[in-house]
Amino acid sequence: MINLSEVIETNAMIEKENLDVRTITLGISLLDCMSDDIDAVCRKIYDRITEKAENLVRTGEDIEREYAIPIVNKRISVTPIGIVGSAAASSPEDFARIAAVLDKAAKEVGVNFLGGYSALPVKGMTDAERLLIQSIPMALSSTERICSSVALGSTKVGINMDAVALMGRVIKESAERTKDTDSSACTKLVVFCNAPDDNPFMAGAFHGVTETDAVINVGVSGPGVIKHAVDSVPDADFEELAETIKRTAFKVTRLGQLVAKEASRRMGIPFGIVDLSLAPTPAIGDSISDILEGMGLERTGAPGTTAALALLNDQVKKGGIMASSYVGGLSGAFIPVSEDQGMINAVNAGALTIEKLEAMTCICSVGLDMIAIPGDVPESTISGIIADEMAIGMVNQKTTAVRIIPVIGKDVGDTAYFGGLLGYAPIMAVSRFSSEKFIARGGRIPAPVHSFRN
Amino acid sequence: MSKSIITVVGKDQVGIIAKVCTYLADNDVNILDISQTIVDGFFNMMMIADADGSAKEFRALSLELEELGKKMGCIIKLQREEIFNSMQRI
Per DSSP, A434 falls in state -
Q: Looking at residue A448, what is its pLDDT?
A: 95
* Residue where a domain terminates, one of A132, A161, A193: A193
Q: Same domain, yes or no, for A226 and A332?
A: yes
Which SS3 state, helix, strand or coil, does residue A145 take?
Answer: coil
Q: Same domain, yes or no, for A177 and A240?
A: no
Inter-chain CB proximity B58 and A255 less than 8 Å:
no
What's the structural domain count of chain B?
Answer: 1
A165 Cβ partners below 8 Å, 6+ apart? A380, A383, A439, A440, A442
Q: Looking at residue A34, what is its pLDDT?
A: 97
How many whole angstroms separate alpha carbon A427 and alpha carbon A49? 37
Q: Same domain, yes or no, for A49 and A164?
A: yes
Q: Same domain, yes or no, for A187 and A68?
A: yes
How many whole angstroms separate alpha carbon A293 and alpha carbon B33? 42
DSSP secondary structure letters along B13-44: -TTHHHHHHHHHHHTTPEEEEEEEEEETTEEE
Inter-chain CB proximity A3 and B35 less than 8 Å:
yes
Q: Which of A2, A16, A62, A64 to mutate to test the interface with B (most CBs of B within 10 A)?
A: A2
Domain that holds residue B18: 3-88
B36: chain A residues, CB-CB within 8 Å:
4
Q: Looking at residue A157, what is its pLDDT?
A: 96
Q: Same domain, yes or no, for A186 and A291?
A: no
How many whole angstroms separate alpha carbon A96 and alpha carbon A134? 10
- What's the Cα-to-Cα distance from A132 to each of A64, A161, A166, rounded to whole Å? 37, 17, 12
Q: Which of A49, A74, A53 is nearest to A64 (CA)?
A: A74
| Beta strand A71-78 pairing with A271-275 | unpaired
What's the structural domain count of chain A?
Answer: 2
* A11 residue type, one letter: N
- B77 interfacial to chain A (CB closer than 8 Å): yes
A29 Cβ partners below 8 Å, 6+ apart? A78, A79, A207, A211, A212, A213, A214
A63 within domain boundaries: yes
Q: What is the pLDDT along chain A (454 residues), one digit of tens a residue?
A: 888 999 999 999 998 888 999 999 999 999 999 999 999 999 999 999 999 999 999 999 999 999 999 999 999 999 999 999 999 999 999 999 999 999 999 999 999 999 999 999 999 999 999 999 999 999 999 999 999 999 999 999 999 999 999 999 999 999 999 999 999 999 999 999 999 999 999 999 999 999 999 999 999 888 999 999 999 999 999 999 999 999 999 999 999 999 999 999 999 999 999 998 888 888 888 899 999 999 999 999 999 999 999 999 999 999 999 999 999 998 888 899 998 999 999 999 999 999 999 999 999 878 999 999 999 999 999 999 999 999 999 999 999 999 999 999 999 999 999 977 788 999 999 999 999 999 999 999 999 998 888 8
Q: Same domain, yes or no, for A249 and A364?
A: yes
| Phi, psi of A157, deg, nearest 5 | -120, -10
3-state secondary structure A170-199: HHHHHHHHCHHHCCHHHHHEEEEECCCCCC
Inter-chain CB proximity A6 and B88 less than 8 Å:
yes
Instruction: Tally Cβ neighbours within 10 Å of residue A384.
Output: 23
| Closest chain B residue to A6, measured at CA | B88
Is the link from the previous residue into B20 a cis peptide, with omega within 30 of 0?
no
Please tell me the distance in Å from B28's CA to the nearest CA on chain A: 18
Q: Looking at residue A365, what is its pLDDT?
A: 72
The CATH number linked to B30 is 3.30.70.260
A361 within domain boundaries: yes
Nearest-CB residue to A2 (from B5, B9, B44): B5
| Beta strand A424-426 pairing with A415-417 | antiparallel
Q: Which of A297, A242, A285 is nearest to A19 (CA)?
A: A285
* Residue where a domain terminates, one of A160, A193, A226: A193
Q: Which residues pair with A115 in a beta bridge?
A: A77, A147
Task: Name residues of chain B where pLDDT drops below 70.
Answer: none
Exposed / middle / buried, residue A353 (Cβ in 10 Å: 0-12, 13-18, 19+): middle
Domain that holds residue A41: 19-193
Nearest-CB residue to B83 (from A1, A3, A255): A255
Q: Which residues pair with A220 in a beta bridge?
A: A21
A240 within domain boundaries: yes
Q: Looking at residue A65, what is its pLDDT?
A: 95
Inter-chain CB proximity A2 and B88 less than 8 Å:
yes
